Structure 1
């Protein structure tokens, strides 16, 4: 993880490099539509209120959980204690980005969605409510965090989520093996280079030209930046968008030449 000072420097560099968020000067119709119809969609959707109300409750929840932590890519778990409110404060995706994921699902209407890193289920809830006809398969390493997430799905009466608990290195392949394809993937499970690239390569055979992959925290550390650079350079990737906190990968064959966009958000 970068120090606070380096993180600020990285953000300044991003802002200086990023194009405006209105789509002016964007020649790709696909990316222009993403900017104008998804990124800048200011509508308040029906699901936002109930999910954010639950987030507020989690931020004040003093319950202590025993958490199995596999560390950065470790296969052997160790246990530590954390309060739910601390997990909610540090691990949940801010609503700005969670709601962007909702709008992406709402606009592109993927049917099979994979999430690595359920945490307390807030982002998962956004993914699932954006398209109730989709199946969201979410994966969480800690059994006790997974229990809380399942309770949260029940509170929100969400029916289209399947939660798989276990070490991703052991569960990812078997989870996606029966799937015909993956339409949308959100990778937020491990903030190291090797596991992040490995997870992308594991799901790649199930992706198709209209699939979208979102990587979380692409500027969180040197390793994550390295993973982002390698994944966006992959031969299967035709376009990518850097929004600083997340990176978006497209495999759309309408892009005849690989393109990368850094957009202010």
Structure 2
């Protein structure tokens, strides 16, 4: 029930690329997320795979791999390296705040252009709280709430902003 209400709230509040004033986020939406290229019925997997391609990810860490995400990524991008820091992209579940905190604390494992993909940010009130805490972390500059997952960026050259986007 929580997910349904959260989805309805998201649809009412979220915008599309026309409500975005950040060139970085606008380009990400129009050149990546809104491109019709579907590999899976699950939206978070499509977002994940499109983002790997768009950000030209070389090194990837998948913290929670309950759905065989690593195997899917290997099939799509055989040149990816896994578990070799510093990471260009990190995938984790919102239900694991300890892992997220550890990733944020380890400065040598992430860099300015690292993308953190947090799955299931609206699964429960607890995961929404984790998402809110991430938004206020001092290292985080941009967050994008896509409902199915959240994208977190650490770009020092970017003003701190939070977006809710319909996809």
* TM norm. shorter chain > 0.5: yes
Cα deviation, residue 99, structure 1? 1.8
Structure 2: tracts of 5 or more residues without a match: none
- Work out the CA distance in 2 between the residues paired with 1:40 and 1:186: 20
Match of residue 116, structure 1, among 45, 58, 63: 63
Contact persistence 2:141–2:155 (CA under 8 A): yes
1:258 aligned to 2:160?
A: yes
Give the secondary structure class of the aligned counterpart of 2:163. Answer: strand
User: Which of structures 1 and 2 has the larger relative contact order (alpha carbons within 8 angstroms, sep 6+)?
Assistant: 2
Cα deviation, residue 231, structure 1? 1.2
Match of residue 89, structure 2, among 156, 165, 184: 184
Match of 2:112 in 1: 209
Match of 1:42 in 2: 36
Give the secondary structure class of the aligned counterpart of 1:210. Answer: strand
Decide which structure has the larger Cα Rg and report it: 1
Contact persistence 2:92–2:100 (CA under 8 A): no
In the TM superposition, 1:1-265 aligns within 5 A as 4=1, 6-20=2-16, 23-43=17-37, 48=39, 94-121=41-68, 123-137=69-83, 179-188=84-93, 191-193=95-97, 195-255=98-158, 257-265=159-167
Contact persistence 1:127–1:136 (CA under 8 A): no
Cα distance 1:114–1:220, how it changes in 2: closer, same or farther (>3 A)? same
Give the secondary structure class of the aligned counterpart of 2:117. Answer: strand
- Work out the CA distance in 2 between the residues paired with 1:197 and 1:136: 17
Alpha-carbon RMSD across the aligned residues, in angstroms, is: 2.0
Cα deviation, residue 196, structure 1? 4.6
Cα distance 1:120–1:239, how it changes in 2: closer, same or farther (>3 A)? closer
Moved over 6 A (4+): none
Q: TM-score, normalised by structure 1?
A: 0.58
Structure 1: tracts of 5 or more residues without a match: 53-93, 138-178
Contact persistence 1:239–1:259 (CA under 8 A): yes
Deviations, residues 183-222 of structure 1 (Å, cap 9, x unaligned):
100002x7254x2543433554411110000111111112
Contact persistence 1:237–1:250 (CA under 8 A): yes
Equivalent residue pairs, number: 167
Match of 1:73 in 2: none
